[in-house]
Amino acid sequence: MVKTTGIHKLKSSKAYSKSGASPGASEQRFERQTSYKETGAGEGRFRLGIVEQADANCWEVFTRRLVAWHTILARKDRSIFLFRPNHPLRNRARRIIRHRHFETAVLIAIGSNCVLLALADPTLEETSSWNVGLMYAEMFLLGIFTIEAGMGILVNGFLFCPNAYILNPWNQLDLFVVLTAWMDFVMTRSGGGSMGFSALRALRSLRPLRSLDAVPGVKKLVITLFKSIPLLGDCFLLVLLLFIVFGLIGTQFFSGKLTGRCEIDVEPNVAVVFGPMLNFNFLSPMLSSNISNPYVSVRICDPSGGYGYHCSGAPFSGHCVDTGKNPQNNYFSFDHFGLSMLTIFQVITLSNWDYAMFSCVDGVGYESHDGAYLSTLFFYFAVLVLGVYFTMQLLIAVLSSSFNSGMDTGEPSEVEGIVAANTISPVRLIRSASNLVAEAMAGWVSKVKLVLQTSQPWRPYFLPVVENPVFINIVLTVTLLNTVTMTLVHHGQSDTLTEILYISNTIFTIVFLAEMFLKLLAYGFIWYWLDTLNAIDGMVNIMSLLEMVAAGGSNMSALRMFRLVRIVRSTRLLRTWPKFMQARLRCESPSLVAFLC
């Protein structure tokens, strides 16, 4: 048996220490290899172990060198591995891209490129003088964009520098647009349009997106939209739930109810003359019902003889037939869940929603029997309110919240800029405050003098009465009752209802006049008219009194419309109304919230 001496161990440890391994580990590996030699067994395994160990050492050395290389490049901040930070060429490029006119020139180039894209005529041949001239102009602008991207890479570095060009998402978009434009140019010049590369031309529409990074406000809005996508996911889920619910309800109510049409019962000669005029395709191609019979009316009816429309209208009588076809080339239908979802989407977009509603009314409940008429109207009312207005306000609230959070967590430079732009000089602030205080004190002194001059001994007795919550609630209840009675007025009403409404209006007018008289005694004549709501009440009461004196004459009937202003009094029931108005006034014009408010 061969023994391992200390010198042999020392040499082996030094040999392995050069590769980066510890002496103890090298001794263990050497002893294992020596044992393989001593026993003579597993000679193939020993050779395989040497190869694996060599591969592991090579990979370890490669990764260490790669990390060290990246660290050196990042520390030295060499652009594209060549230009150090203070290189003259790099400094010159940095001064150019930071110049105030450079960004303006790039925006002008982007706008010119958009104009060229709009002027392209796809009906002309590519070799026409018009398209060739546009192509050369686009190539000139593409050269400008390429130079801009190259200067950005030269200044910031491409990948390994701290502020590398490719690490900025906006620069990634710019580089993608430029590269696709060059690919389009190369494929066009090489005749590769027939090979499927012509689809790259559609990416030219992305070039206007390059201007997003140049306009800080638009950039902020785009970032807000992207950050609000997770929050908008819940809104989209709610909208999808509304689609499903209303689609199922529509399938249950209106499935197979939109295929009936009125066939005109006329003489042949009359049909020949008036038939084309009654053709649905002739009257409205946009709402084509895909019916080839020119003697079938466009109006939907109920062929089952239910409560729908029965084709009894002028100018000709007719009977309802089941055509088996739905309006709008069978796309407007509730026959199954898929078409119901499509129809609900059309209604939510407010595209011909009235036609959809009245078509369903004619199909199921034209004669207002069995509640089908009101059910149809309520269905479409719920779709419009929940699907359009409620959902839209919810989306606006999410975007507003995301925008406010983005302003709170903005970049330090942006926050400092906003603070600097809104900083007010202390001297000007003190002067403005002193002027406001002086004006307020002057007005307050004049009002105090006015109160002292007009003070009457009965005012302390009536003021607690009009300020009592019970008195205020009684007046508001009378106001609501007056509003309800005004909604009962309709054409062709009975004489009894007219008499009841006249008596009730007289009673309400007397109550409001009594309230006005008590407030005049409590506040005084001048203070009463200085209050906005009291001034409105007083004007309405005076108009109502003039109407009563005129005994409902035709010359004074126009004064009745002033009674509608009493509805404004009901806003006092909204205890959150002042807070709502303050929230509206807090919306600042430069922000997105102001646009949404």
**% the chain with pLDDT above 90:** 2
Q: What pLDDT is attached to residue 496? A: 92
Please, what is the average pLDDT of the chain? 70
Q: What pLDDT is attached to residue 446? A: 56
CATH of domain 456-585: 1.20.120.350
**Mean pLDDT confidence for 534-555:** 73
Please report how many Cα atoms fall inside a 13 Å half-sphere around the Cα of residue 401, on the Cβ side.
Answer: 11
For 266, list phi and psi in degrees, rounded to 5: -140, 170
**Mean pLDDT confidence for 66-82:** 62
293: CB partners within 8 A, 6+ apart: 263, 323
Q: Does the pLDDT of residue 558 top 70, yes or no?
A: no
pLDDT tens profile 372-403: 778 888 899 999 988 888 888 888 888 777 77
Q: CA 551, 555, 560: angle at the middle one, nearest 5?
A: 65
Rounded Cα gap, residues 79 and 77, in angstroms: 6
Ranges of H-type helices in 276-390: 280-283, 327-330, 337-348, 353-364, 372-384
* Cα→Cα distances 157→171, 211, 308, Å: 12, 22, 73
Domain at 88-214, CATH class: mainly alpha
Q: What pLDDT is attached to residue 553? A: 46
Locate 392 and state its tokens. Answer: 């839209």
Q: Does the pLDDT of residue 585 top 50, yes or no?
A: no
When mean pLDDT is compared across 53-67, 100-114, 188-202, 485-499, the lowest value belongs to 188-202
Q: Does the pLDDT of residue 176 top 80, yes or no?
A: yes
More confident residue, 450 or 343: 343
The pLDDT confidence band at residue 126, using thresholds 50, 70 and 90, is: confident
Rounded Cα gap, residues 496 and 424, in angstroms: 68
Please give the order of strands across the beta sheet that includes 296-301: 296-301, 260-264, 318-322
Query: Which pairs with CB-CB distance under 8 Å and at least 24 residues apart come from 282-290?
Result: 287/327, 287/328, 287/352, 287/355, 288/328, 288/329, 289/261, 289/323, 289/325, 289/326, 289/327, 289/328, 289/329, 290/325, 290/329, 290/330
Q: What pLDDT is attached to residue 570? A: 57
Rounded Cα gap, residues 340 and 379, in angstroms: 13
> Helix, strand, coil: what percent of the chain each, to 5?
75, 5, 25
pLDDT tens profile 464-492: 888 888 988 888 888 888 888 888 877 77
Q: Does the pLDDT of residue 590 top 80, yes or no?
A: no
The pLDDT confidence band at residue 412, using thresholds 50, 70 and 90, is: very low
Q: Does the pLDDT of residue 419 top 70, yes or no?
A: no
Q: Which helix (H) or strand (E) holds 260?
A: strand 260-264
- What would the DSSP string read from start to end of 200-220? GGGGGGGGGGGGGTT-HHHHH
- Confidence (pTM): 0.52
Residue spans per domain, the chain: 6-76, 88-214, 233-394, 428-454, 456-585
The pLDDT confidence band at residue 219, using thresholds 50, 70 and 90, is: confident
Instruction: Confirm whether 88-214 and 456-585 share one CATH topology.
Output: yes
The pLDDT confidence band at residue 500, using thresholds 50, 70 and 90, is: very high
Q: Does the pLDDT of residue 458 top 70, yes or no?
A: yes
User: Residue 486 in contact with residue 506, Cβ under 8 Å?
Assistant: no
Neighbours of 377 (CB within 10 A): 15
More confident residue, 212 or 565: 212
Rounded Cα gap, residues 419 and 413, in angstroms: 10
> What is the DSSP-derived secondary structure letter of residue 257?
-
Q: What pLDDT is attached to residue 372? A: 72
Rg of the chain taking only CA atoms, in angstroms: 41
